[in-house]
Amino acid sequence: MNKTLRRASVFCLLLVLALLARATWVQAYESQALADNKNNRRTTIAQYANPLGDIIVGGKSVTGSKRTDSGDLAYRRTYTDGDLYSAVTGYSSQAYGSTQLEGIYSDVLDGTDNRLKNPVDALTGKQTAPGDVLTTIDPSVQKAGYEALGTKKGAAVAIDPKTGEILGMVSTPSYDPSKISGTTDGDAWKQLTGDKDQPMLNRALREPLPPGSTFKLVVASAALEDGLFSSIDQKTDSPDPYRLPGTVRDLGNESASDPCKDATLRAALEYSCNTVFAKLADDLGQDKVRAMAEKFGFNDTKQDVPVRAWASNYPSHMNKAETALSGIGQFDVTATPLQMAMVTSALANGGVMATPHMVSKVTDGDGNTLQSYDKEPSKRIVSASTASQLQSAMQTVVEQGTGSSAKVPGAVVGGKTGTAQHGVDNDKAPYAWFTSYAKDKSTGKEVAVAVLIEDSDAARAEVSGNGLAGPVAQKMMAAALNK
């Protein structure tokens, strides 16, 4: 063989070896990455080649699968009462991917999760039967919240204080995920994503807004735990009006006739006295208020239920005036309905917070449990004494104060209203909040609820937590207690 041929042969051999090495590398090390690539059409084809597993509410599927008429994707996702449950399920779309429970448990629902495979299936790559996701949602609570919110822009969350099970999670306006589950739903997608009311936004988890006076429960907890007061019936040293520290601005209360001067914590919660809680926040200092807020879950960037919620915020680096305003849930304090439901749930449960979650278990195609969430951890937030005293004060709010709309026959109910200002110079309609708990006197059954009304048809002067949000909480609590 002459020199030229020898060089050409060696070069060709090197090319073959390089191709073999590359092929081996792709098969051994990059196969999973390629399979998971969002642009890999084969993955989508495989995902929708068979009916998907289901998301279960109250023992019944709220999802399904429908055979498509054409194309290479054999099945598309369907939803029963999609508008009612979209804040729980999210969507599974052949064109736009998956969100919330549909996204988190996509491998279980499409049958590719390794826990679904037996050893032979794992070796051969055989498609296995999909699994199901069982939620903690109570259909009656969900429906009560959805119907009570109606055309209002808002959200509501109901939690079982003892177990942390989320019994209801509603966000309005809503949408039907069935309308965007296929490959030819571009017009519906554009309409939903372009809607100024953002129907695809889960306001229960992902829109933290100023919580207004509902945050006073956190400040009251900090004051009692710090020992500023031994009792909610001990008088405070609170001027009315209250001059914000370092400013010439006086902070007043909703009504000049409210008995807020030197009011007790019980009376201050009953009449929602801004002056008392602004001064309390300044007296405690932002570090102590923040520490209590963070015990309840504020500033937690990994709040998963298992869908991740946006962090509720208690700010840092405030001056004394800003700290005072934070005490009434203003300045840069924000909270989601989930967060305020967690606050009330912990107080209702004797100061112990059960981890909130909306999935009870994940099962395989035969109903065998792959993962259970029935025994989620709990942690103590405040002492039993502090919780008991604040329960009593919240009951006063409902029985003879600003929360009268939340009464449930046959149940002990405690609550706190909130009206949060926003906009430039507070020029926009305020947000209406209500957070509450109810205990059935005969059965001992409990529920905690938080409701946010972001926008409604009510005139600005008629916006209040008791008037707008309280009735929604009442309907959900009554449903949870079968009242």
Output the pLDDT for position 256: 75
Residue at 442 is within a domain? yes
Catalytic residues: 213
pLDDT at residue 155 greater than cutoff 60: yes
* Mean pLDDT score across all residues of the chain: 91
Mean pLDDT of 248-259: 89
DSSP, collapsed to helix, strand or coil, labels residue 275 as: helix
Residue at 418 is within a domain? yes
Mean pLDDT of 465-477: 94
Q: What are phi and psi of 154, to 5 degrees?
A: 180, -165
Look at residues 164, 131, 320 and name the one whose alpha carbon lies nearest to residue 243. Answer: 320
What is the Cα–Cα distance from 288 to 171, expressed in whole angstroms?
Answer: 33
Residue at 451 is within a domain? yes
Angle between helices 286-296 and 216-226 (to 10 degrees): 110
Angle between helices 337-348 and 216-226 (to 10 degrees): 40
Mean pLDDT of 345-365: 97
Residue at 65 is within a domain? no
pLDDT at residue 433 greater than cutoff 60: yes
Residue at 347 is within a domain? yes
Judge whether 373 and 166 are in contact, CB under 8 Å: no
Torsion of CA 111, 117, 122, 125, to 10 degrees: -30
Compute CA distances 284 → 222, 234, 251, 326, whole Å. 8, 17, 18, 12
Look at residues 263, 363, 360 and name the one whose alpha carbon lies nearest to residue 53. Answer: 363
Query: Across-strand partners of 93?
Result: 97
Judge whether 375 and 363 are in contact, CB under 8 Å: no
Which residue has better confidence, 376 or 88? 88
Residue at 365 is within a domain? yes
Residue at 414 is within a domain? yes
Domain count, the chain: 1
DSSP, collapsed to helix, strand or coil, labels residue 280 as: helix
pLDDT at residue 259 greater than cutoff 80: yes
Compute CA distances 441 → 59, 350, 397, 483, whole Å. 27, 16, 19, 11
Strands 431-440, 446-455: pairing kind: antiparallel
The whole domain housing 352 covers 206-480
Output the pLDDT for position 118: 74
Judge whether 212 and 317 are in contact, CB under 8 Å: no
Output the pLDDT for position 40: 58
Residue at 11 is within a domain? no
Q: How confident is the model at residue 1 (pLDDT cuts 50, 70, 90)?
A: low
CATH of the domain at 466: 3.40.710.10
Output the pLDDT for position 458: 62
